[in-house]
Structure 1
Amino acid sequence: MPKLKVKKAAKKRYKLIAEKRFIRRKAFKSHILEKKSPKQKRNLSKSIVVSKSDTKAIKKMLGC
């Protein structure tokens, strides 16, 4: 049986942290920033923990 390949897109987007959870960056921070308030841009810069319902799919993509 061949080894499973890691999904490169998922590898770039998610990082494994303690307690077998993942962190990710928020969307909508790449362009069209003129109309967004400084508060909104500041909050979009923060990383967040991935929900438990998505963790199983991410583990499968990363081969964890």
Structure 2
Amino acid sequence: MPKLKSRKAAAKRFRATGTGKIVRRKAFKNHILEKKTTAKKRNLSKAVIVKDCDADNVRGMLPYL
């Protein structure tokens, strides 16, 4: 079997935990940060686990994750 290609855009956005779950960053932390509260910015910095309904799509884009 030939090697499968991974989607490079998805490879930059997702990573796997030790238990095999997929982790992503939150949106809205790139610019226009002056009007956002410190607590909101701190909460947006944390990584979250991808929901189960979306995890299958991510695994399809990243076959070796």
Distance across 2 between alignment mates of 1:58 and 1:23: 10
1:63, CA displacement in angstroms?
1.1
TM-score (norm 2): 0.88
The structure where strand makes up a greater share of residues is: 1
Residue-pair matches, total: 64
Distance across 1 between alignment mates of 2:47 and 2:53: 18
Match of 2:3 in 1: 3
1:2, CA displacement in angstroms?
4.6
Amino acid at match of 2:30: S
Match of 1:14 in 2: 14
Structure 2, gaps ≥5 residues long: none
Structure 1, gaps ≥5 residues long: none
Distance across 2 between alignment mates of 1:31 and 1:42: 14
> What is the RMSD computed on CA atoms of the aligned residues?
1.3
Residues 20-49 of structure 1, C-alpha deviations (whole Å, 9 max, x = no match): 210011000000000000000000000000
Where in structure 2 are the equivalents of 1:43-58 lying within 5 Å?
43-58=43-58
Once structures 1 and 2 are overlaid, which stretch shifts more, 2-11 or 52-61? 2-11
1:17, CA displacement in angstroms?
1.1
State yes or no: 1:33 paired with 2:33.
Answer: yes
